[in-house]
């Protein structure tokens, strides 16, 4: 709750929201409602990533009903140093597999988010499929790249 406003401000930065499935600015009331719902769901894990005690990013895991499988999403704070995204993702994977005891973590990436594709591939995610033109941003259709990684692939 202490970081709720920070996450809202980060999420509404154009450099973050342009890669989201919902690219609209989120109102404060919408954000609070999202948080209330998410924090009451035992299968949803909302995390702040810190570097040297400084909030530097956000990660969420949404576990499926089928058990030990989760979708993740993440973004860094706008003012972090280069390389922080890789550090955030590595740390989050360790957390997901070690602390949450997940078997598999999945991610969906819009085709124009090349940096997220590179991070997934660098971390060892496998490209499991492409939903061709599976997303419309109001102007054009974009493909969605579906990635997955198993706990056995992470050291």
Q: Report whether 121 contacts 99 (CB < 8 A).
A: no
At what angle are helices 28-39 and 4-11 packed, to 10 degrees? 120
- pLDDT over 90 (residue 58): yes
Whole-number pLDDT of residue 47: 96
Q: Report whether 134 contacts 144 (CB < 8 A).
A: yes
Q: What's the predicted TM-score (pTM) here? A: 0.91
pLDDT digits (tens, 9 = 90+) for 26-40: 999 999 999 999 999
Phi, psi of 123 (to 5 degrees): -80, -10
Domains of the chain, start order = 4-153 (3.40.630.30)
Average pLDDT over residues 65-79: 91
């Amino acid at each position: 709750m202490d970081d709720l406003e920070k996450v809202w401000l980060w999420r509404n930065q154009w450099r973050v929201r342009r890669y989201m499935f919902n690219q609209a600015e989120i109102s404060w009331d919408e954000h609070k409602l999202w948080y209330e719902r998410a924090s009451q769901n035992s299968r949803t894990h909302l995390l702040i990533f810190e570097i040297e005690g400084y909030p530097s990013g956000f990660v969420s895991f949404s576990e499926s009903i089928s058990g030990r499988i989760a979708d993740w999403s993440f973004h860094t704070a706008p003012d972090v140093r280069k390389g922080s995204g890789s550090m955030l993702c590595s740390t989050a994977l360790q957390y997901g597999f070690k602390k949450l005891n997940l078997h598999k973590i999945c991610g969906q990436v819009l085709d124009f988010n090349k940096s997220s594709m590179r991070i997934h591939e660098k971390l060892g995610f496998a490209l499991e499929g492409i939903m061709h033109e599976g997303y419309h941003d109001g102007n054009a259709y974009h493909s969605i790249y579906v990635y997955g990684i198993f706990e056995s692939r992470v050291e």
